[in-house]
Structure 1
């Protein structure tokens, strides 16, 4: 480098004041969330998001079967001129808005539905028997596409790249893990995710730093005895009695082995055995889930569940085999929100909806495979209110009567976009901070 160029570099570092957020002032940055929300509330944008959500709701697809949903996502990205990769993890789509250069920040929406029959009667009820969007993933996709539209319309102020992660198979299939294995978040500095909450009013959002949702696992056990006539039980080995003792003993893992200050759950939700009133069956199948807020507690539960099932079955002269279904239903780690990203969320959300509408929620024993992302990079997960004010007792997620208030879609889209763009602007501020260090040294 010539002397003149060194002189210019030193002059620029010492004399020209850096703008820590590029060409935007702090005031302009703080106004972005409301500006984005107003954009998302425009009739044409709002109606477009509602239409997408309803099309997906009418055609729910289970994990790794989201072919039509994925096609819809790609069609909308094509219309917006947003490049993407497909297929990723079977049906996943990954879009890119911005310069294509670092820094990278990711936004995630899950696409899959649940294997249940919708009981709510309305114009856009599920057309696929035995399948329903009862957890709001249809709204999540619509919100992320809305965020993509906002970001694409304002790409001139993007200082980096936003990665749009449309993920398959959140409902037990571990789609996030497959997306990670496919390299989706390589070089990504942080990731944000949203989830609808039916008992939280529209216009409010909530989350917390640290532990938010529990880690979870599933188990299934076959307890085998010896079948026979119910009138002569001494000639049989009754697996129903054995299974009953197993279930009672499993409850002691929480009530008598777990620290009362370390929240844990073991629930048996499946019990299948026998088909006649007067016949003792040869075997019984039970199954359930276990949850905890730390990976250590989760692994301890796993070990003790197997020991209790096998041991209690043996007491009743039965044999037992235990399957933790790790292939089809992988363990979900606890969802733990990054504390620095929590502060970022508070600033952005408060600027958008006001401090009074940003709540700190209590941890929940539900689980989320967004946690896989958080094991690799800093991540933050948020709940957004979708309560229907006409319904005083809204149905919970995973209910056949689940319903959302679509007025929440603009807020979800704008919050996604605001979190991402402000993160990129602040990430770009790191370079001027290095310049300041060099100033001090000079």
Structure 2
């Protein structure tokens, strides 16, 4: 019965994806579904998404949080640009709701509280901090997330007690200068040549080689239809990756130094500088231990794999960075996912969702 309801939730969300911060119908659907099952969901006040409490929240009781992300990606599928659940958030939501259904009436709820959070806007990296601003994190002692993993990280039928994501940061900016006639290159600095020098300087950033990191130009728009005009301006974007937050700060400092020196060297302005991104994981060992025990209880020792280290990112880790005392970690679920996350035709073994639900359920029971 529970598996049928999980399937119902998954199929609805998969067929009705919504983009980050636009999850209005998704929020309504989850709210109505939970209410029909006898729960008392609460919508967030200032953002899309919702949360739902079960159990005892009296002072002194332990409170466990479980998080599902609810937004979809925007990508081309069969030649059409559309919202698409190719990152598994529909699966995460169905597993978390399945966990709630399994917990109904359990005696564990007499001595502990469980807060289920359905978070918006994970794909743009702003949802976790927005949820934190709603004031629903402070009461929690543990916080557990879950994410499907691709085959190269975890085969179907196994699970990992943590996903150690890296930090990711994007930098947008404009090179601002004057255009010049193609016959008079001495009258300006060609923004394309300026951008080429930036690319070259980025390749010469050298920081601790034992910590995986990368930095590269990923957007450069300059020039127009008239090929006899030397462009003075350009729109640029840089992608930065690092396995640690400390290393990311060093990358940002080096990139900022490069842009400042470019301004002086070429007498151009670097304007509209905008950083955005997500932090690297800072998982708590107690939460990792909790998930490891829960995986072993459900799947057996041989199907509990080591923590997964990946250069991908997830904004779940903002919670543990913002609240260092919060015991947080993400469950990595092997499910035969291929060809990869964010691929428009991503597929996975739906039967693995039961494993994820059972592990999350067991994790709640295992919290002391």
Match of 1:30 in 2: none
Give the drift of 1:166.
Answer: 0.5
How many angstroms apart in 2 are the aligned matches of 1:231 and 1:357? 68
Unpaired runs of 5+ residues, structure 1, are 1-43, 121-127, 389-393, 427-442
More strand by share: 2
The answer (yes or no) to whether the contact 1:89–1:179 under 8 Å persists in 2 is no
- 1:415 and 2:367 aligned: no
Cα deviation for residue 219 of structure 1 reads: 0.6
Q: Kindly indicate whether residue 87 of structure 2 is the aligned counterpart of residue 130 of structure 1.
A: no
SS in 2 for 1:282: coil
The aligned counterpart of 2:214 is 265
Residues 37-70 of structure 1: CA deviation (Å, up to 9, x unaligned): xxxxxxx322321221121122211121111111
Cα distance, 1:84 vs structure 2: 2.1
Structure ranking higher in helix proportion? 1
| Within-5 A mapping of 1:422-433 | 422-423=366-367, 426=368
Shift of 1:231: 5.0
Q: Which residue of 2 aligns with 1:144?
A: 96
Post-superposition offset of 1:373: 1.4
Contact 1:63/1:173 (<8 A) preserved: no
**Count, aligned residues:** 359
SS of match in other structure, 1:219: strand
Normalising by structure 2, we get a TM-score of 0.90
Q: Residues of 1 paired with 2:49 and 2:318: CA distance?
A: 16
Choose 399-408 or 334-343, whichever is displaced more: 399-408
| Structure 1 consecutive aligned stretches of length 4 or more whose deviation exceeds 6 Å | none
Alpha carbons 1:222, 1:321 under 8 Å: kept: yes
Q: Per the alignment, do residues 207 and 275 of structure 1 end up closer, same or farther by CA in structure 2, a change over 3 Å counting?
A: farther
1:263-342 matched pairs, under 5 angstroms: 263-276=212-225, 277-321=227-271, 323-325=273-275, 329=276, 331-342=277-288
Cα distance change of structure 1 residues 322 and 362 upon mapping to structure 2, 3 Å threshold: farther
Equivalence for 1:54? 11
Distance 1:356 1:190 in 2: 26
The CA distance in 2 between the partners of 1:358 and 1:231, in whole Å, is 67
| Residue 189, structure 1, aligned to residue 141, structure 2 | yes
RMSD (CA atoms): 2.1
Stretch of structure 1 that moved more, 72-81 or 306-315: 306-315
Shift of 1:88: 4.2
SS at structure 1 position matched to 2:77: coil
The residue correspondences of 1:170-181 to structure 2 (distance < 5 A) are: 170-181=122-133
CA distance in 2, matches of 1:275, 1:397: 35
What is the CA distance between 1:346 and its match in structure 2? 1.4
Residue aligned with 1:115, SS: strand
- Is contact 1:291-1:365 (8 Å) kept? yes
Unaligned runs of 5+ in 2: none
Aligned to 2:157: 203
1:232: Cα distance to partner?
4.4
With 45-54 and 345-354 compared, the bigger mean Cα shift is at 45-54
Matched, 1:106 2:65: yes
State which of 60, 73, 82 in structure 1 corresponds to 2:39: 82
Instruction: Tell me the SS of whatever aligns to 2:259.
Output: helix
In the alignment, which residue of structure 2 is the partner of 1:219?
A: 171
1:345 Cα shift?
Answer: 1.5
Give the C-alpha shift of residue 195 in structure 1: 0.4
- 2:186 equivalent in structure 1: 234
Say if 1:79 and 1:215 are closer, same or farther in 2 by CA, change over 3 A.
Answer: same
**Which deviates more, 286-295 or 164-173?**
286-295
Give 1:239 deviation, angstroms.
Answer: 0.2
Mapped contact 2:64–2:113 kept (Cα < 8 A): yes
**8 Å contact 1:213–1:335 — kept in the other structure?**
yes
* 2:329 partner SS: strand
In the superposition, the TM-score normalised over structure 1's length comes to 0.76
Please state whether the residue corresponding to 1:201 is helix, strand or coil. coil
Are residues 362 and 160 of structure 1, via their aligned partners in 2, closer, same or farther at CA, if it must alter by over 3 Å?
Answer: closer
